[in-house]
Amino acid sequence: MAEIKIYSAVVCPYAHRSRLVLQEKGIDFDLIEINLQNKPEGFTDISPYGKVPALAHGNHRVWESAVINEYLNEVFPQPPLLPSSPIAKAQARIWIDFANTRFVPAFSALLRSPDIQQQEAAKQELYKHLEFIENEGLGKLSGDGPYWFGESISLVDFTFYPWFERWPALKHYRGLALPEEFTRLRRWKKAVKQRDSVVAIANSKEFYIERYARFATPVAA
């Protein structure tokens, strides 16, 4: 039995974040898959919000993916997944917050909204966020490297990536491909996608198209 237990759901992008961090750090863990439509009795003893991911480390519990990931980075410091300087670390946290409060809500609104006008508004909002990532994030922080902070992958990369692995569902149901003009973003996605930690738990585009069918209907031809 491993020291770490991660409570996860394969379709959940938030849980995906924390599993990526565990994989990247080479931490031994037990994976406990939770059916979010039929949660086991006593699950809120582990996850008070009743959500995944949740982490059990000995007698300690941690929940919320961004907090879990920082906890793992502190308790298992190698390889480090945050920059060392205070300002760079602050920038990383700003981008993690941007993902949680701006990027992810726009992605979800576009995929889940049944209203065409709301979809169009969400599509414009999401495009604006992609443009901001391209220019203000990768354009100013990554230098010549492929990742958010250059040559070294970080929690920021793993914070955003699960939604990009799910992008084929957005393209299939809402007709939004990752725009060609965002060359840094496309390079970033390719680099992260090829990492061993990402490949180890990756799912196919068909998997996400099938799993997200209940949230959306295909764009009419």
Nearest one of 109, 89, 163, 172 to 133, comparing CA atoms: 163
Structure tokens at 215: 């949230």
Q: Cα–Cα distance between 150 and 120 in angstroms, integer?
A: 33
Q: Catalytic site residue 104? A: no
Nearest one of 59, 14, 21 to 36, comparing CA atoms: 14
Order of strands, sheet of 60-63, starting from the edge strand that comes earlier in the sequence:
29-33, 4-8, 54-57, 60-63
Q: Cα–Cα distance between 85 and 77 in angstroms, integer?
A: 15
What's phi and psi for 20, nearest 5 deg? -65, -40
Q: Where are the beta strands (DSSP E) in the chain?
A: 4-8, 29-33, 54-57, 60-63
Q: Cα–Cα distance between 184 and 138 in angstroms, integer?
A: 7
Active-site hit among 6, 9, 12, 96: 12
Q: Cα–Cα distance between 137 and 160 in angstroms, integer?
A: 12
Assess contact for 6 and 44: CB atoms under 8 A. no
Residues recognised as catalytic: 12
